[in-house]
Amino acid sequence: MNNLEITFGSLFAGIGGFDLGFERAGMVCKWQVEIDDYANRVLAKHWPNVHRERDIRECGSHNLKAVDVICGGFPCQDISYAGQGAGLDGERSGLFFEAVRVVCELRPKIVVLENVAALLTRGLDRVLGTLAEIGYDAEWHCIPAAAVGAPHIRDRVFVLGHDVSDDSKASRAGETKAGSTGLFGNAGESRVFANSGFIRCNSGRAEQSLQGTRASSEAWRHVGKSGQWNSEPAVGRVANGVSARVDRLRGLGNAVVPQVAEWIGRRIATALRADFV
């Protein structure tokens, strides 16, 4: 697969945080699914030639092409501690099961899911169990934006599953576990990020130690002149006269941090090219 493009599809695409990060990692976006009107306008501006659908409940193999990777940050409202705690039984966060249905129909090699850190105690067991039921072995880590230099924490859980539904893939997955080398680091361990050595927010600075990410990643061209992120995007400080200010803030708040997505995407691309899956 070294000479072939790695393709991905984006569920719950939002304003394209996953999409931007994965493209920076060298992948090619083939389709996006997003229901929000404002987010769709952003996607249409930056990905004008990408196939787009709106309602995940109406998507599947009949209107989405097979891809190597499917990613998506499914709704967090019922999982967040700020919500009522319905979890995956909630109307919005329950759309996770629609994502699973799409994965079942398209059978990507890799699936990447994202949600708030509350998922660790409000449904991660069901997420992992459901992925296992459809033939995907998974690993997960809570990766904060601070790990890639942001001056805020923004903890998010990323679940990465790979297809082990046939004997050869299952066998290779077993060999990988025995060698304790997963896409996030040592299989079955959390210390790659849970104890990664970054200082989250210290006098406005956030240091990180992601093995050269800061020095080598193209993502760093968007940080401030000091090497740190700007404290917030330029969306203005007043409500009047700022175009779509509320929509922009909501879109940014819901988005996956592209630099984190790029770091994950580069590891996925390396693994796929090495025929990891």
Q: Which ranges of 49-203 does DSSP label H, i.e. alpha helix? A: 96-106, 124-133, 167-178, 191-194
Provide the pLDDT for residue 253. Answer: 82
Catalytic residue among 76, 104, 142, 201: 76
Domains and CATH numbers, the chain: 7-273 (3.40.50.150)
Cβ–Cβ under 8 Å, residues 88 and 126: yes
Cβ–Cβ under 8 Å, residues 56 and 98: yes
Provide the pLDDT for residue 210. Answer: 37
CA angle centred on 7, ends 66 and 96, rounded to 5°: 60
- Residues 58 and 71: their CA atoms lie apart, in Å, by 17
Q: pTM for the whole thing? A: 0.78
State the DSSP code for 197.
-
Catalytic residue list contains 76 = yes
Question: Which amino acid type is present at position 64?
Answer: L
| Cα–Cα separations (whole angstroms), residue 123 to 85, 134, 169 | 10, 17, 27
Provide the pLDDT for residue 239. Answer: 53
Provide the pLDDT for residue 245. Answer: 76
Cα–Cα nearest to 33, from 74, 91, 68? 74
Token representation of residue 162: 């790979």
Each residue's pLDDT, cut to its tens digit, for the chain (277 residues) gives 556 799 999 999 999 999 999 999 999 999 999 999 999 999 999 999 999 999 999 999 999 999 999 999 999 999 998 878 899 999 999 999 999 999 999 999 999 999 999 999 999 999 999 999 999 999 999 999 999 888 888 899 999 999 998 644 444 444 444 334 577 764 433 333 333 333 333 222 223 333 333 333 333 334 333 445 554 555 555 555 556 778 888 888 888 999 999 999 999 999 998 865 4
